[in-house]
Amino acid sequence: MNRILIAEDEPRIAAFIEKGLRSHGFTTSVATDAQSAADMANGSAFDLLILDLGLPGKDGLKVLEELRGQGEKLPVIILTARDDIQDKVAGFEAGADDYITKPFRFEELLVRVKARLRNNLNNQDASEMVIKIRNIVLDLRARQVKVGEQTIELPAREFTLTETFFRHPGQVLSREQLLDRVWGYDYDPGSNIVDVYVGYLRKKLGSNLIETVRGMGYRLRT
């Protein structure tokens, strides 16, 4: 639960937020206009949206209204220079969960992001928060993995990679898909980081858990 979409057309601000969030273990992607923000936010690829209001193409408020109109429940934090009380009210009425005005301190954004993600977890049905495949139990709330009776500690990226496989059991996931979901940015497609991490998971969770599908990617055996 750490994939964050940043809708921000100002490259310096987007880079600043990305850098900070990544250094705290979050996975980030940036949408630089209203249409791509709406497209990317719709679905289950992200756990939270940080939304600028002054976006090319359409106002961020409109993007938010449309997302909520489509039933999208993704937590949204508005991050904008508009600091009038009317703007804040309009933001919350459009369905924002929080509202931060620019200029802002990264520490404040981070605290609010964490609070939102925590709230969201608390609101989810506990049964959705555990995935069990074979003898492995993935507890998404505690971010803990149990193999049989043994609890295995996984660093953030390894956990997110495991979660990605467990959400798509039996499905072939390409290196590009895994890079995008877990690392969330334009890693060199020739990079072998996915293979290295799959190797870590095989060592920790069982050597035959993740199968190599030649020329295509990897699949979690069910």
Cβ nearer to Ca ion, comparing 57 with 206: 57
Cβ nearer to Ca ion, comparing 16 with 200: 16
What is the Cα–Cα distance from 86 to 91, expressed in whole angstroms?
Answer: 9
Does 158 help bind Ca ion (rule: CB under 5 A)?
Answer: no
Does 79 help bind Ca ion (rule: CB under 5 A)?
Answer: no
Cβ nearer to Ca ion, comparing 29 with 164: 29
User: CA-CA-CA-CA torsion for 112, 22, 36, 41, nearest 10 degrees?
Assistant: -50
Backbone phi, then psi, for 209, in 5-degree steps? -70, -45
Given 9, 18, 47, 158, the residue binding Ca ion (CB under 5 A):
9
**Ramachandran region of residue 94, left (φ > 0), alpha (ψ -120 to 50) or beta?**
alpha
Helix/strand/coil for 173: strand
CB of 161 to Ca ion, least distance (A): 33
CB of 52 to Ca ion, least distance (A): 4
Residue labelled with tokens 């002054």: 54
Cβ nearer to Ca ion, comparing 58 with 219: 58
Count of residues that interact with Ca ion, criterion CB under 5 A:
3
Contact footprint for Ca ion (CB under 5 A):
9, 52, 54
